[in-house]
């Protein structure tokens, strides 16, 4: 009798496990169709998508080409894409580490860390800069196409003498230059080179072996080419130098590396949960309006009131998105090598597939 009960339990367990696997596979099959249709409709040369649940990769696939001419296929574990503004989210984790080390206080004046930055009419904090409510301006004209080799400190010269565009805290205005300034905050607070600190406290501990600055003056054999669409034709984009705005949008990575990063945000092991909580706390303007943005991370409810931490990215030859769902223990990363892609379309479609 006991043996029969044991066999019955084993059978039910087996069926249950295979049913779960089958359900997951159906989701993957649906997601793959979504991705293939999206690649075609948006005329994207190459795309990489990775998905993890409960810390384990359940789907990771490359679509199209890293190099259209040579037909070099996208490999989600090797092909490096510009992650663009997801670089802000990467930098936010380094800032959390500095908080844990008592080297950084989000609510302290910027001038505590960068005392030689030109004084403005109003003071503003590190948190306000990180949440885009400090009043620092964004790009003007074609500044995002700059191809001048500069350090992060030299890059401040572009905007440092400009007035704030509003009194800090009174409004929300997205600013990559604000994050350029935060890279100098990180460098000064850490007492070491910003890029070296990113490697030491973010990339190396998380085993993000294929994440680095996107160097404009060196060959990077696993890096994709960067494409734009002009009059319906896909062509190579303008060469740009993004090293000076590393924290704002200068890193390259694989979609699988971003999964490792996303899992650290929702299940932190290298930083404290309290420091992460500061990053994912939506800021407010002085009128009490939620910005749906913490420090380098968007925060909102999506399908079925599911909490999502996220960030998009757009740059020369790149449109990207990372989604982190702490309640579902799920991370999704999407990287493309084309400018101006309607990325939120596939974000919504993948959420329809994976978020119950």
30-77: per-residue pLDDT in tens?
A: 999 999 999 999 999 999 999 999 999 999 999 999 999 999 999 999
What local confidence, expressed as pLDDT, does residue 114 receive?
98
The candidate with the shortest Cα–Cα distance to 158, out of 182, 178, 132, 186, is: 178
CB 201 within 8 A of CB 97: yes
Distances (CA, A) of 99 to 151, 174, 284, 304, 331: 24, 23, 21, 33, 25
Our CA angle for 294, 254, 312, nearest 5°, is: 30
**CA atoms of 298 and 293, how far apart (whole Å):** 4
| pLDDT of amino acid 4 | 54
| C-alpha span between 240 and 221 (Å, rounded) | 18
Indicate the angle between helix axes 86-100 and 255-266, nearest 10 degrees: 40
**How far is CA 333 from its chain centroid?**
8
Quickly count: other Cβ atoms within 10 Å of residue 309's Cβ. 23
Asked if pLDDT for residue 10 goes beyond 50, the answer is no
DSSP 232-299: TEEEEPPP---GGGHHHH-EEE-HHHHHHHHHHHHS-SSS-HHHHHHHTS--B-TT--B-SB-SS-EE
**Domains identified in the chain and CATH numbers:** 43-354 (3.40.710.10)
Phi then psi dihedrals of residue 325, to 5 deg: -115, 95
What tens digit of pLDDT does each residue of 85-101 get? 999 999 999 999 999 99
pLDDT in tens, 141-186: 877 777 788 999 999 999 999 999 999 999 999 999 999 999 999 9
């Amino acid at each position: 009798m006991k043996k029969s009960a044991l066999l019955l339990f084993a059978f039910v367990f087996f069926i249950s496990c295979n049913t779960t696997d089958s359900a997951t596979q159906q989701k993957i099959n649906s997601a793959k169709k979504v991705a293939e249709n999206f690649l075609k409709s948006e005329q994207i040369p190459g795309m990489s998508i990775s998905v993890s649940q409960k810390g384990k990769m359940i789907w990771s696939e490359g679509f199209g080409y890293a190099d259209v001419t040579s037909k070099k296929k996208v490999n989600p574990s090797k092909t490096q894409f510009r992650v663009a503004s997801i670089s802000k989210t990467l930098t936010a984790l380094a800032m959390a580490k500095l908080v844990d080390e008592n080297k950084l206080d989000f609510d302290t004046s910027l001038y505590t860390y960068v005392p030689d930055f030109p004084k403005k009419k109003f003071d503003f904090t590190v948190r306000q800069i990180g949440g885009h409510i400090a009043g620092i301006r964004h790009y003007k004209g074609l500044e995002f196409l700059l191809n001048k080799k500069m350090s992060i400190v030299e890059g401040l010269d572009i905007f440092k003498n400009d007035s704030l565009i509003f009194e800090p805290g009174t409004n929300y205005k997205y600013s990559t230059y604000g994050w350029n300034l935060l890279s100098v905050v990180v460098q000064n607070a850490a007492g070491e080179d910003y890029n070296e600190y990113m490697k030491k406290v973010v990339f190396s501990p998380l085993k993000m072996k294929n994440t680095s600055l996107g160097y404009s003056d060196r060959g990077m054999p696993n890096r994709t080419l960067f494409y734009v669409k002009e009059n319906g034709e896909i062509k190579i984009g303008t060469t740009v130098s993004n090293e000076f705005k590393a924290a704002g949008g200068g890193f390259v990575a694989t979609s699988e590396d971003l999964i490792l990063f996303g899992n650290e945000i929702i299940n932190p092991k290298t930083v404290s949960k309290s420091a992460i909580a500061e990053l994912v706390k939506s800021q407010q303007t002085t009128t009490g309006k939620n910005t749906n943005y913490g420090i380098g991370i968007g925060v909102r409810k999506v399908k079925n009131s599911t909490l999502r931490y996220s960030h998009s990215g757009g740059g020369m030859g790149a449109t990207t998105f990372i989604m982190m769902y702490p309640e579902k223990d799920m991370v999704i990363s999407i990287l493309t090598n084309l400018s101006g892609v309607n990325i939120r379309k596939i974000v919504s479609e993948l959420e329809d597939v994976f978020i119950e």
